[in-house]
Structure 1
Amino acid sequence: MSELKRIEDLIGDIHSLNQDAIDAASAHLDSLTKPPGSLGKLEDISKQLAGIMGEVIPDVSHKAIVVMAADHGVCEEGVSAFPQEVTPQMVLNFLEGGAAVNVLARHAGAEVVCVDIGVNADLEHEALVARKVRYGTANMAQGPAMTREEAIRAILVGTEVVDELVARGVRILATGEMGIGNTTASSALLHVLGGVDLEAGVGRGTGIDDARWRHKQEVIRRSIQMNRPDDQDPIDVLAKVGGLEIAGLTGVILGAAKHSCAVVIDGFISSAAALIAARLAPVSVQYMIGSHQSHEQGHARMLEAVGLKPMLHMDMRLGEGTGAALCFTLIDAAGKIMREMASFESAGVSRG
């Protein structure tokens, strides 16, 4: 079976949510000692999780954040404030448990799974999931970031990682990433697939100044003019101006939906992957939970393009899966409401 056919079959296995479970969860929420709908997004989460997993009160205690790591050849154009060596250095930091996402994942009771899908260095660590497709993308300002075949292979890496996690009992996933230069690729994807002007969609990433911000826009503009990505073909866009970690996260999202698992979408780069997934399989959006709106300039427009509403506004712009890790704690809170809150009948409280 060809790799493209594997993706097509996977997409065909993604179905709409279980409406009977959603209705049962809604009835349960309305039986609890509160005005209907008064817990807002916590109730929305509970109903969505029920529909995703087909259970009124699913067990989502086994959580994992998949951090995809890869490098970007476009860094040769001077679009980032940090050098590319930071990517492998931060991967080792993740693996040793010292990054922000590790701290917040421990707080949320989630494991961090770090995948080398395209770091431009040789890495070894007992905890590393080594699935390198290539040593970073090519410079998209001089040609396609990768071949179509490499983009497809990277998507499948994401689905395979999910297969393995689900086999170990994981039922809720989150997306995280590491890759110097990845806001450039994500901004390009937003421009092509979301139709957002570069001035509105290109942010400052790790903190570039005005001159480099304008240069970053010009590099993206030149990359798109050179590669002419087809906005009706998400894989073509991903291959020409995307990134390996973005492709991998696209696979994570599609794989989660196939396995009837919820997937919490982190920040700007993760949302770029969500946009690709949404274009490939529109029904997959039903399995996504928007965690936060980051401080990155284009993130609100990216979320709008996907069709997600964030739960948090924390002015964060770190990535890694940090916003998604915080969202896990809200998901746990929603589950406790469903399991532990008294009903009008059990508490002897009169209904309105």
Structure 2
Amino acid sequence: MRFGRHRARRGAPPVQPEGGPLAASAPGTDVSLHPAAADDGGPHAQYAQFAQHGPGGPSGPGIPSGLRGARAHGVVLTRDGWPLPGASVTLLAVDGVGSARATSGSDGRFVLADLETGPATLLVACAGHEPQARSVVVQDPRATRAEEMVVDFGELRLARVGAAELPPPGRWVIDPDHTSLVATAHHLGLSAVNGRLSRLEGAIEVAEPFSGSSVQVRIDAASIDTGVAARDDHLRSADFLDVEHHPWITYEGRGLLPDGAGGWQLNGQLTLNGTARPVPLSLRCTGTGTDPWGGQRVAFQATAQLSRNDFAMKWNQAFGLGVAIFGTTLRITIDLEAVRET
């Protein structure tokens, strides 16, 4: 694993198909196609009207339904515009007999061949995403034979099942300047004391499927900051973090399970104060996007809970009726940004 600060690199924006799609969904369906404007005067305007109105619309003559030989293409994307490889695309004729199937490639694009002209149902499905079905029309008034017909279905966008859009596969380097890691403990059983660990480095390896992803993080234990110098010095001592002998806190996790509420559980191992213990993280992807320098970014929020006694940090003092000065339970809250490595 390579560590170190990362500068955002210029990268290409998400794939966008050329031209406008030439088919529209039937009224009342979830419209994820982006039809060309029927009145923009562009080359697809006439067919955009035909697709919206069907064979009885104002499109002109066209080719009769039921002839084979047409082709169609399009691109399957996530809701926020990332290519979605491995999606199953099926076109069913109205009678349910004639059909064509294709699988989207690494760029999300697909091609359907030897299609039957006329109305049909387009089905799009991909693991971890909401499937979609919609009515389309395989027709093009510009063609004189079915074999000449090439229909552009444009962008077909799928939403993830119960979750925000996830980043595409690849290595994502954690941006420490836009990442916050806070540990919270109770003081006197009354209020919370927050300590921020400000120096860290690491990377996320996003896999396809996402459940196979992994993360490695290394944290400078001496960077603990509670806002009180005397308390921070004590936390760095052998009573707690013992930074002289154990300068680094590490976390390594691999494999995620959906939590049923739109998030994931990451199973990982935390090494703290020289002791390694399994600590699961509850995490949620909060979004992806492009930064001003052309880099691709992803954000996650994560939480965990652990007992400091499990990591040989047992120092404490009691007062009154045995109430401890410092609680043994630590709650970890992480807000993380990472930049895709190019």
**What range is the shorter-chain TM-score in?**
under 0.3
More helix by share: 1
More strand by share: 2
TM-score (norm 1): 0.23
Larger Rg: 2
Structure number with greater CO (CA < 8 Å, separation at least 6) is 1
